[in-house]
Amino acid sequence: MANMESSASKWTKKHLLGLEGLSAEEITLILDQAAEFKRLAAAGETKLSPLAGTVVANLFFENSTRTKTSFSLAAKRLSADTIDFTASGSSLSKGETFFDTARNIEAMGANQVVVRHGTPGAPHLLAKHVDVAVLNAGDGTHEHPTQALLDIFTVREQRGSLEGLTVTLVGDILHSRVARSNIWGLTKLGADVIVCGPSTLIPPEVERLGVRVSNSLDEVLAETDCINLLRIQFERQRNAYFPSIREYAHFFGMNGDRIQRAKDDVVILAPGPINRGVEITPDVADGSHSVILDQVTNGLVIRMACLYLLHQRQQELATQEATA
Ligand code: CP
């Protein structure tokens, strides 16, 4: 536990709202803490007790498979009690608001609240109105910090470091919170980031975030070390952004032919859910370059690290308050 305590004492944030507000050192602290949890799990220490006696509430106002279940399992691995709230079947249908829902969960004794919401900034607003620690599990098109952290952790695991790597984010950059969080995290850790997709799905002035733009996957394939294939976010699109899915897959889908033309050791990532035959063909998704399921595995230790660091900070703040 010595490593865990020393990394926790360097963490000073009460909430985890996005990677935009974190320094390279803070991001690295989370990655190192996750690596420590992964090492402990490999040594058979899968059940740890730092969050015993605390409550982690998952408040999901949008659908999720990976993020919700892995936050829930991460909390259990750290011995917290968990509350799993989903909007469907809740009293939202009777007119209860987002804030009242969150306040009621807080009143049940939650210490940390994991929030996914369709509105950008919803977790940030909540953090201003509740005493609990808030973790952003995806807010509209804005940020999905733990997804980017697990993506970056997986790349670091494959390559040792992010410094100098070229990472290409392909697809619906305009509507993707995963893209935004990846851009913040990857550039802070020294990677060169290319965003690639139809011009209609690239946000205006995205270069200001320190990335290059390409509208041709074939053009950037040979120089790319890691390709992160983002899903087309049909649920957030109000217009037609490209003529057809077939054409999108033809120009921007990762397939066996493009794997042949990519670097020999190219790493293929996708945040999931994947749409087989659209952004990625099944042979690539299940092939030797794919680390898609490693990302899911790593999501667990990343979320354990986030819950653990925020819990330790809460303890420090409570001690400071008691002794003030
Ligand atoms: N990648 C991701 O956020 O997946 P879920 O929507 O299933 O949580």
Distances from the Cα of 224 to the Cα of 36, 65, 124, 218, 228, angstroms: 29, 29, 34, 10, 10
Pocket test for ligand 1, best of 58, 59, 62, 64 (most atoms within 8 A of CB): 64
CA of 296 to the centre of ligand 1 (A): 10
Q: Ligand 1, atom 5: nearest CA belongs to which residue?
A: 64
Q: In terms of CATH, what superfamily is 145-295? A: Aspartate/ornithine carbamoyltransferase (3.40.50.1370)
CA of 69 to the centre of ligand 1 (A): 9
Domain locations in the chain as residue ranges? 2-143+297-315, 145-295
Pocket test for ligand 1, best of 59, 61, 62, 65 (most atoms within 8 A of CB): 65
CA of 50 to the centre of ligand 1 (A): 26
Could you say which DSSP state residue 128 is in? H
Taking residues 221-241, report their average pLDDT: 85
CA of 273 to the centre of ligand 1 (A): 6
Let me know if domain 2-143+297-315 sits in CATH 3.40.50.1370. yes
Q: Ligand 1, atom 6: nearest CA belongs to which residue?
A: 64
CA of 178 to the centre of ligand 1 (A): 10
Note whether 2-143+297-315 and 145-295 share their fold.
yes
Residue range 185-212, pLDDT digits in tens: 999 999 999 999 999 999 999 999 999 9
Whole-prediction pTM: 0.95
Residue range 249-294, pLDDT digits in tens: 999 999 999 999 999 999 999 999 999 999 999 999 999 999 999 9
Bridge partners of 214, per DSSP, are 196
Q: Which residues line ligand 1 (CB under 6 A)?
A: 64-67, 138, 147, 271-273
d(CA 75, CA 300): 9
- Give the type of residue at 267: V
Name which residue leads in pLDDT, 236 or 209: 209
Residue 101 tokens read as 């829902």
* pLDDT of 241 strictly over 90: no
Q: Ligand 1, atom 4: nearest CA belongs to which residue?
A: 66
